[in-house]
Structure 1
Amino acid sequence: MNKIPLLLRIVLAIGLGIAAGLIVPESFIEVFATFTGLFSNFLGFVIPLIIIGFIAPGIASMGKGAGRMLGLTAGLAYTSTIAAGLLAFITAKNLYPVVLSGQSSQSLSNPEDSLIEAPFTLDMTPIMGIMAALIFSFILGVGISTLKGNTLFNVLDEFRSIIQKLIEHVIIPLLPFHIFGVFANMTYAGQVGTILSVFAKVFVMIIALHLIYLLGVYTFAGSLHRANPFQMLKKMVPAYFTALGTQSSAAAIPVTLKHVKKVGVKERVADFAVPLLANVHLAGSTITITSCAMAVLFMQGSSIGFGEIFPFILMLGITMVSAPGVPGGAVMTAVGLLESMLGFGPAMVSLMIALYLAQDSFGTAANVTGDGAITTIVNRLVKNRLKEPKTAQAKQKIG
């Protein structure tokens, strides 16, 4: 089962869930609802642990970096991520009332009320709330970055490895079954037609936004280097397709490094910036999460404004720092914010996860390709402060 790509597993889960919802009796739906209820409760328990496991060591490791270049690279990555989120918000705010007109129904105004309830559930109270976990992670991360020793950092790094294995070997493998149960339940409740129609339109919009974002960031990078942005993008195509296939920014690092250097970035800058950006620059994922979140809210008849979405995007850019290099890592770290800041319930979270994972590989590809543009911008801004040996690579010019 694990040899089947995650995207295909998600598509199969949705298709089989719809088929099951059309033919099975209510007693079977209750069985599926029991599993999805237990899984949702388990996910709620794990979310604070995911936040601590990734954000604290992520911030701590950034604090151990190379001073000015670290701050510049991280600052550009965060700015790019926030800009991408705002692009998604503005587009969705203006397009959804048109392209999704008539697909917000009263039956979806409170999704939990219309679904078949599980005959029993098991309470799994999280060890702390979402905001408490975020604050605790920031305190730990910043505090550890100021310490000379590595003991506590090593403990947190090992804890991150545990959480990453939990996601890779438990949560991700069970997600297709969870999505199967959710779609079987929604089909039985008569909601699936609207949802699938929204899925298709949102998917097309997100891919278009990824391309618009990449063209914008490469146009800016090209203007700094007086280079053709299309030629720069062309050289980064192998990195895009590597990320598209692996669904992991970390797995694409060797290819990204190779082709960023072909663009003409100094070796020292590339070797520092690319691995860092693979963890802290998630513009494509932010576009996907913001677009999907607004689609789910639109389906339930909710309206959200700039004052509500902007703090969410600001926090999203931080919580995804050092998200695991596994499919679905970004949305896993975002679930807590969806619940605490946008008021998502279990059914809405399940829809959000299904929407996101169906497009995860494209978001990752946009992240990785965007890393190339940010790296060239860093290269330009620190150009006069770095002295490297006069190798053929160092002499190569942008474009």
Structure 2
Amino acid sequence: MSSHKPLVLLVLSFCTCAAYAQTPEDKEELSSVTVESTGDESDLRHSPLPVTVIDAERFHGRNISLNEVLKRVAGVRLREEGGLGSRTTLAIHGLEGKRVKIFINGNPLNSPDGTFGINDIPIQLIQNIEIYKGVVPARFGGDALGGAVNIVLRDFEGSWVDLNYGHGSFDTQRAAAVLTKMFEAQKIEVGIGGFYNHAANDYVMKSPFVDGLKIRRDHDAYSSYAAGLVMTLDDRWFDEIELELVHFESDKEIQGIQSNIQQAKTKTQLQAVAVSLERADFLLDRLDFEYDFAWLAIEAKFIDKAMECFSFDGSARTCPGVGGEISGIPHDSNDEHEDLRHDLNLHYSINRNHGINLHLNTVRSTFSPCDPLASEELGYVIGAFPSDKTNSVIT
């Protein structure tokens, strides 16, 4: 596969004029002319950074998840606790957790509770995947000492309709839709889109403790959906102004390991507003300006109110403690997170091979826990402490 993006440049006018000036004896057949220019993806592959770039376009139209694509990359390891919606740990060259950061279009994905997993994103909405093994570009900022994964979403330019649906094992269903409309005269582009994921994650296994007993491992269903609206304005004082509104929800049942959990689950809601500004030659020639602002409000709910628990053979019994299937304490929590994120990047190009980059990333996070049911049962306030903190990273 060529690492260049061919530019469709037709030079027929030049050829026609030349032909009129020739005599039959002087005619000479010209070979075709192709002009090629390297794009961002090719430049990244040829950069000195230890980076692997995956062209996601070759996976479009296939029922494959982002996790499955990442598993094919040397040096990358994913540890999944179950099917779609289960916790996944990403490791690059053995380093994982907070040492590895995940970005979408250069914006950090990591949230306080890990609400939104990369496997939720349909592969059809991804242009390419950049995997940095060690050194991370300064424009990303942050403290990704072990590496990073940057997911570059497709840019649906002009008027576009894209619909996808896939069905797989364990009743896994994935759907995505994008609709964009370009208003050429006003240089405004408006788009709406979203995706839906669902997996039952049920299967039958033999009991390791009781001979002949077959256990149906259920209560591990996962559902999520997202909807978004985006408006892009081109060629104003800024080269590009983008406004985006996003709503995301997920519902995840909790599957037991030592006990047959049948009712406990988690729910999540997320609302986000994002503004992006870009301008080349900002105040000075060769000085590029990029600024991103995002407001996120997250509600994370943990529901475990059962008073009756079950064994794997289906028999019922009273839950231990004062209720709840997991800890002996009933829960109906509603923890609220709120983030304000500012991301500024200034890049001055000295020449093709050298430049100076300044990156400032600031995040203010507030956290308000609330679990009235557990507090009432125990007679005192239970849960984590409220917090209000601000983090800034300059690189």
Question: What is the TM-score when the length of structure 2 is the normalising length?
Answer: 0.24
Kindly name which structure, 1 or 2, has the bigger radius of gyration based on alpha carbons: 2
Higher relative contact order (CA 8 A, sep 6+): 1
The structure with the greater share of residues assigned to strand is 2
